[in-house]
Amino acid sequence: MSDAKVKAWWSHRQGLDGSLVGLAAAQILEKVGWARSVGGGAPYLTLFSRAGIRRAEADAALAAVQIHELPSARGCTYVLPRRDYALGLVVGRQFAEGETKVARKLGVADDEITRLCGAIREALRGGALAPDGIRTAVGDAARSLGPEGVKKGITTTLPVALGMMQVSGDIRRVPVNGRLDQQRYKYALWPENPLTDFQQSEADCFVALARHFFGWTGCATTAGFQTFSGLGVKAAKVAMEPLGLELVMGEYLALPQDRAAFKAFVVPKTPQYSLVSNLDAITGQMLHGSGEKPDHSIMDRGEMVGNWQFDPVAGEIVWTSTVKETAPLREAVAMTEAFIREDLEDFRSFSLDSPKSRVPGIEALRREANL
């Protein structure tokens, strides 16, 4: 068996072979994993590349709270399916305490934050508010942390309290315009707090996260799970131990129920091209234990065979490939290009990404494509 088989297996499990077409947004995220979200277009492309889901359908699922952006693995924001809201909040809890610890060092007492949380709760009883609206409503309950706070990246006590209330499920962030790729939010009370009747311990939640992870990937390494979960070596092994994982090739481990399917899996002979973001699981942390790269990727049966960027001025994808340009490859590019142009207007990697900042990368790709 070869790495090509593992990569093609990942591609199959991630639904990049078209096997998940017809499923709803939440079902896709249940099957392939949580979609990394940093105010860019990655969650939309995750759903489109797996099942052809357009932005209107994804936004409708978001509005119906069937999917939601929450602080979760490693304390990072992901778009999760409703099934996993409580799990995501619990496994992200220990990583979201950084601001609270910094605030304590700056002289902020826990009871001060507790009072501020109460003031925020009262302010939101009348409906969702943007941060400025909350700041006005809570008045002196929030205060500046001065020059030292600025140095530490926390200017006031308000974001500390808002972060705590998100992690506890008391409030949720709601996109102002209902879109995941434009990072302007209001905060709203969450009467259906997913943690209200949730009984699993943190340890049990990390076991559940490990089960999800190896189910999403089909097979992975211990290091891959460590990177995704944020756990150390010992804690990761403790979370994995109850799963009875079995070696399927080299260091790759699989759930017992997936071993036979992996063994029987045959790498497709026909190319399966798809365009994914630089935050997609198949290019980054979930499968490879690596960070994102500047360009987005063209994939074929789990292999990275090209790079791309969207040029919003020209309204087109600029791309290069390491394989021969064929009609199926051009069609995959054209389909994604039309999706971005018609549904998203642009494709940002993250909230601070801008057309201007992308010009050097786009021009470098264009030069490479013209060689």
| 142-181: b (≥16 Cβ within 10 Å) or e | beebeeebeeeebebbbebbbbbbbbebbbbbbbeeebbb
Instruction: Return the amino acid letter for 82.
Output: R
More confident residue, 286 or 196: 196
Tell me what pLDDT residue 286 has.
52
Cα–Cα distance between 179 and 40 in angstroms, integer? 10
Could you give the percent of the chain with pLDDT greater than 90?
A: 89
Q: How would residue 292 be classed by pLDDT, with cut points 50, 70 and 90?
A: low
Tell me what pLDDT residue 352 has.
75
CA 350 vs. chain centroid, Å, equals 11
Query: For residue range 182-203, what is the model confidence (pLDDT) as tens digits?
Result: 889 999 999 999 999 999 999 9
Q: What integer is the mean pLDDT of 298-306?
A: 97
Residue reference for tokens 């090209």: 306
Tell me what pLDDT residue 126 has.
95
Tell me what pLDDT residue 200 has.
97
Query: For residue range 221-231, what is the model confidence (pLDDT) as tens digits?
Result: 999 999 999 99
Tell me what pLDDT residue 283 has.
86
362's CB contacts (< 8 A; 6+ apart) are: 309, 311, 318
Query: For residue range 238-248, what is the model confidence (pLDDT) as tens digits?
Result: 999 999 999 99
Tell me what pLDDT residue 291 has.
53
Output the pTM of the full model. Answer: 0.94
Q: What integer is the mean pLDDT of 314-325?
A: 96
Q: What integer is the mean pLDDT of 125-130?
A: 97
Q: Where are the domains positioned within the chain?
A: 273-369
Whether residue 61 is predicted with pLDDT greater than 60 in this model: the reply is yes
Query: For residue range 13-54, what is the model confidence (pLDDT) as tens digits?
Result: 999 999 999 999 999 999 999 999 988 999 999 999 999 999
